[in-house]
Structure 1
Amino acid sequence: MYPQSRGEQSTQELPAVSANGSGDGSVAIVRDLHKSFGSFQVMRGLTLEFKPQAITTILGPSGTGKSVLLKHMVGLLEPDSGTVEVFGQDIWKIHERKRAELRKRFGVLFQDGALFGSMNVYDNVAFPLRKHTDMSEAEIREIVMERLKEVGLEAAVKKAPNEISGGMKKRAGFARALVLNPEIVLFDEPDSGLDPVRTSLLNDVILKVHDDDKGTYVVVTHDIRTARKVSDYVGLIWQGRVVYYGAADEAFSSDDPFVRQFLSGDSVGPLGMD
C-alpha cells in the first residue's frame, strides 16, 4: 500500500502570501503561458498558482513541458505570451539585475545533482555562498555543515562527486539548493535514476527539511510514489495545459478518466502512446 498523501486542505483554505512572500496571495503564478521551440508548441495556455508553505508536485507524460515550466519560473526562459509572477512581480517586466536578484530567492535541485566534478562535496555546497555573499569562510562553514547535516552528508565533505552514490549526489545538490535560505525550492525529477528505496529515503529528507524550514517546494516527477508521499498539492499537465490542480488526496481519489489513468498507471484510458 502506498503511504497516505500529505494533502489535507483545499486550495481555498490555504493561507495567502504577499509580494514578499508573507501575506495574502500566491508565491508564484503562471498565467496563460505559451511557449514554442520552432514549430513544436510546448505550452498551450498553462495556468498554475503555487501556494506558500506547501509542496506542489507537477506530474504529466514525458515531453509535456514540466521542466520547461520550472525554467520559466526561475526566469531562464521567456514566455512567447502569458505572464510569470513571482512574489507579486511579473519577472519579464523588471530589469535583468532585479531578475538576477530574484533568482537568489530560489533554490534548484537538478536531475543529476549537477555537482561540479572538480570540487568536493563541501566546496560544491559552499559555492553559492562564496559567489553571492560576502560571508567569511567561518560563516560559510557554519551554514554548509548545518545543511550537510540536514541531508546526512556531514561525513562526506571531502569526497568528490565521482566517489559518492547517486542518492548522495542528489542530497548534496539539495544541500547546495538550501544554503541561501531560499523561499522557493524547485526539484527537477529528484528521484530520476534512483531505486525505490533511495527514492523513499530522499523523499524523507525533503519532507523533514520542509517541515523544519517551510517555504514553497515545487517537485517535478514521474514517480507516483513520490507524489503520494510528499505532495500537499498536485498539478497534472497534458499537452501543455493543466488538466488537474488541487489537493493531493483529492487527486488520488479523482473520478476523472485522465487523472485516474495517469495516477494509477493503467494502460486503459485517454492517455495513449502518442
Structure 2
Amino acid sequence: MSAPLATLDDDRTYEEIYSQGIIVDPAPHLEHSVRIKNVKKSFGSFDVLTGLNLNFVDDAITTVLGPSGTGKSVLLKHIVGLLEPDSGVVEVFGNDIWHISEKERQEIRKRFGVLFQDGALFGSMNIFDNVAFPLRKHTKKRESEIREIVMGHLDEVGLTRAVSKYPGEVSGGMKKRAGFARALVLNPSVVMFDEPDSGLDPVRTSLLNDLILKMHAEHGGTYVLVTHDIRTARKVSDYVGVVWQGKLIHYGETEEAFNSDMPFVRQFLSGDSVGPLGMD
C-alpha cells in the first residue's frame, strides 16, 4: 500500500485525507502481524471508526494519537478481538479474527499483553498474585516456575519489595508497573498500552516511558500505544499514526509526524488552538 504523498501541499488533498483517511504502510518491506483494513464501527447513531486502515510494524513501537472520542481505545478492543467491526477486516497473525472460532480467538488473545489505563489490578489480590494470574489461568506451570517468572518481571519493573502489597496500598505508578509486568508474563508477541501515562505526573510519565523502551529492547515484540501525551509519543515511538474522526490521516516515522506540514497534524502535535480541530 502507498500513501497519497505526491500533492500533500495541496489544501484540496488535505481535505480529501480528512474526509476519506489514507491507506499507508510506512514500512512495506517489514513484517506486520496486525493489519486493520477499512474497519468501521458505530454505537447506535455514533460513528466511531469510519474506515480505518493501519498496518502495525512488527518489533517496533507504534503510537496512535488523536483527540478524545476519535476511536483509539475502540481500535485496541478490535485488535484483541473484544469488539467485532461492523465492516472491514481485523487480521492478526494472518487470521481474520472474525472468521475463526471463539476457541481460536482465545488462543490468539494469549499472544497479547495489555496494560490498561489504571493497571486494572484485582483489588483482592496482592501484587505477586496479580502478576501471576495469567500464568495460573493459561498455563500448567508449577508454582516454583511461576514464582521465578513473576519475580523476574517484578524485578525488571522495580517492584520486588512490593510483592505482598495490595493495589490499594501502592501508588498509581506502581499499579501501572505491576500491570506492565503482568502484561509480559506470557511472553506476548503484541503488547498494547491504553493511555499508560494517564494520571501520572511528568516525572513518573518519563520514568514509565524509559521502562517501556527498556522492556521493548530486552523482550522485543510489537508495542501499540494509545495516548494523548505528545512527549510520550515523541520519546518512545518508532512510528506515529494520527486518527481523526475515525480515520487514519497520518502514519509514518516519528520525526516525520513531528515535522509534518499537514494542518491537523501540526496543530494537534503542537497543541495550537488555531487549526482544523475545534471544540466540537
Q: Same fold (TM over 0.5)?
A: yes
Let me know the Cα RMSD of the aligned residues: 1.1
Query: Gapped runs of 5+ residues in structure 1?
Result: 1-9, 18-25
Pick aligned residue for 1:185 from 168, 188, 191: 191
- Give the 3 Å change call, closer, same or farther, for CA 14–202 of structure 1 in structure 2: farther
CA contact (8 A) 2:60 2:222 kept: yes
Moved beyond 3 Å, runs of 4+? 10-15
Secondary structure of the corresponding residue to residue 234 of structure 1? strand
CA distance in 2, matches of 1:46, 1:182: 25
CA distance in 2, matches of 1:213, 1:15: 22
TM-score between the two structures when normalised by the length of structure 1: 0.92
* Alignment of 1:16 onto 2:36: no
Q: What's the counterpart of residue 61 of structure 1?
A: 67
Deviation string for 1:10-58 (max 9, x for gaps)?
Answer: 96557533xxxxxxxx110000000000111101000000011100000
CA distance in 2, matches of 1:114, 1:11: 33
CA distance in 1, matches of 2:26, 2:194: 27
Secondary structure of the corresponding residue to residue 187 of structure 2? coil
Q: What's the counterpart of residue 252 of structure 1?
A: 258
1:234-253 mapped onto 2 (5 Å cutoff): 234-253=240-259
Deviation string for 1:165-196 (max 9, x for gaps)?
Answer: 00000000000000000000000000000000
CA contact (8 A) 1:15 1:52 kept: no
Deviation string for 1:110-152 (max 9, x for gaps)?
Answer: 0000000000000000000000000000000010011111111
CA distance in 1, matches of 2:182, 2:241: 26
Pick aligned residue for 1:269 from 254, 257, 275: 275
Secondary structure of the corresponding residue to residue 40 of structure 2? strand
TM-score between the two structures when normalised by the length of structure 2: 0.90
1:95-244 mapped onto 2 (5 Å cutoff): 95-244=101-250
Secondary structure of the corresponding residue to residue 173 of structure 1? helix
Secondary structure of the corresponding residue to residue 246 of structure 1? strand
Q: What's the counterpart of residue 31 of structure 1?
A: 37
Question: Which amino acid in 1 is paired with 2:124?
Answer: S
CA distance in 2, matches of 1:43, 1:256: 21
Query: Gapped runs of 5+ residues in structure 2?
Result: 1-23
